[in-house]
Amino acid sequence: MAPSAVPRAAATTVQNDSDAAKLAVWKQALYERVQESGRENDAFSQDDLIDLGVIPNGDKMLLIRVVQALSDDKLFVTMRDASNNILWKWRDAQEAHKYKQLDDEQAMVYSLIDDSGGDGIWSQTLQRRLNMHDSVLKTALKHLQTKGLIAPFKNVEHPNKKMYIKASIQPSDRATGGPWYTDQNLDEAFIEDLQRVVFDYVKNQSSYVSKHSGGGRTQTPSKGVVKGNPDRGKKRDAREMNEPPAKAVKTSAASTPREAVLLPLPAGYTGYPTVRDIARLLSASGITNNTILSESDVKKLVDVLVWDNLLEPIRVAGKIGYRVSRVSKQSTDVWAGREDPTGREGQPESYLSPYTEAPCGRCPVFDLCEEGGPVGPSNCEYFKKWLGME
């Protein structure tokens, strides 16, 4: 309670001291009762307040006086519901104290900012709602800022808008973007690295490293020679288009060194990591040092990897685990923590389409290409390079 408020409230509503004292007691009682009875954002109608039993005999006149006094002290906030009934909400005493320091304009501005909570409010919205003069609003905001009641901040959803938030609260997850944002920017490097860690972890947990030539025979054409690099299909760089095709190399299955390969695990394997397992790994490893990733955050991360066709969900024994896609084609190297700028080493192997491997599939002028046109098969630069005829 704010005892200093009593004389002023008393002066406006009651004449003598005893009345004032009684009113103060009722005020105190009602305020405490309201605080105990409901949560912070519960609104009370007149009937609700009477039902609390603080006001003797349900005396409505008395109730009005008490509520008026509380409102004057900024301890009660008056509001209307959809059907225009008047409701009251209580406000924290400390907050109320802040309001009392402010003049009317500042109080109005502050209350709007207060209402917007963790999401903050745009200065233009303030102006539109309050219909204030620009300079009045500006001085009010400045005043509030110097008093340390509000703070300007940036919302990731509207990075260009000037937003204000109460200085005492943290911006909500929606406003900061959750753990994926650092200084209001999407932290792509962080996300990318986490994805690699998750991918590596799932790959390890969902595959079996065989050092025999476990995958079976290496496929060799029944006739002819293998041209090009006999190594396992590395994703090729676009620059390789420029290089002449490698010399024909004769290989036989026996001479290829036995590399460690990954094998799929038997059907019904229950050890595929779930979202919870991954979240646990991430928090235990301490990679995310001061950010805390909830399970739903990790789910988002895993979903993205699924959409990228790197992982696939599998349901075993009633829970959804994740395993790596195209397991036997993945390399045993780790993807995370690679320094090389291309990021190709240890990268997941994805299914290559024959269409995009040849020049036409990534030709920038494919739409124009026509025999007899400005570009066409007879003067195609890309084919020349691809066929090594330069």
Query: Which positions lie near another protein, rule CB under 8 A?
Result: 157, 180, 186, 188, 191, 207-212, 214-217, 219, 227, 245, 263-271, 300-301, 303-304, 307-309, 312-318, 320, 325-329, 350-358, 360-362, 366, 369, 371, 376-378, 380, 383, 387, 389
Q: Exposure string (b/e) for 305-331, b if CB count within 10 Å is 16 or more? A: beeeebbbeeeeeeeebbbbbebebbb
CB of 9 to another protein, least distance (A): 47
Of 99 and 272, which has the nearer Cβ to another protein? 272
Beta bridge partners of 210: 261
The C-alpha R_g of the chain, in whole angstroms, comes to 35
Of 2 and 360, which has the nearer Cβ to another protein? 360
DSSP 139-206: HHHHHHHHTTSEEEEEETTEEEEEEEEETTSPPPHHHHTGGGEETTEE-HHHHHHHHHHHHHHHHHHT
**Tokens read off for 10:** 């008393």
Of 47 and 381, which has the nearer Cβ to another protein? 381
Backbone angles phi, psi at 221, to 5 degrees: -60, 145
Of 151 and 191, which has the nearer Cβ to another protein? 191
CB of 140 to another protein, least distance (A): 28
Q: For strand 311-316 and strand 44-45, is the pairing parallel, antiparallel, or unpaired? A: unpaired
CB of 313 to another protein, least distance (A): 5
Of 60 and 384, which has the nearer Cβ to another protein? 384
CB of 197 to another protein, least distance (A): 15
CB of 230 to another protein, least distance (A): 16
Of 68 and 125, which has the nearer Cβ to another protein? 125
Q: Shortest CA distance to 63 belongs to which of 71, 73, 55, 52?
A: 55
Torsion of CA 96, 100, 105, 109, to 10 degrees: -20
**Tokens read off for 386:** 């691809």
Backbone angles phi, psi at 200, to 5 degrees: -60, -40
Of 153 and 269, which has the nearer Cβ to another protein? 269
For 183, other C-beta atoms within 10 Å of its C-beta total 8
CB of 93 to another protein, least distance (A): 39
CB of 47 to another protein, least distance (A): 39
CB of 326 to another protein, least distance (A): 5
For residues 51 and 3, what is the distance between their CA atoms, to the nearest angstrom? 26
Alpha carbon separation from 230 to 209, 241, 250, 255 (Å, rounded): 21, 18, 9, 11
For residues 340 and 69, what is the distance between their CA atoms, to the nearest angstrom? 70
Of 33 and 329, which has the nearer Cβ to another protein? 329
Backbone angles phi, psi at 255, to 5 degrees: -80, -15
Of 27 and 323, which has the nearer Cβ to another protein? 323
CB of 277 to another protein, least distance (A): 14
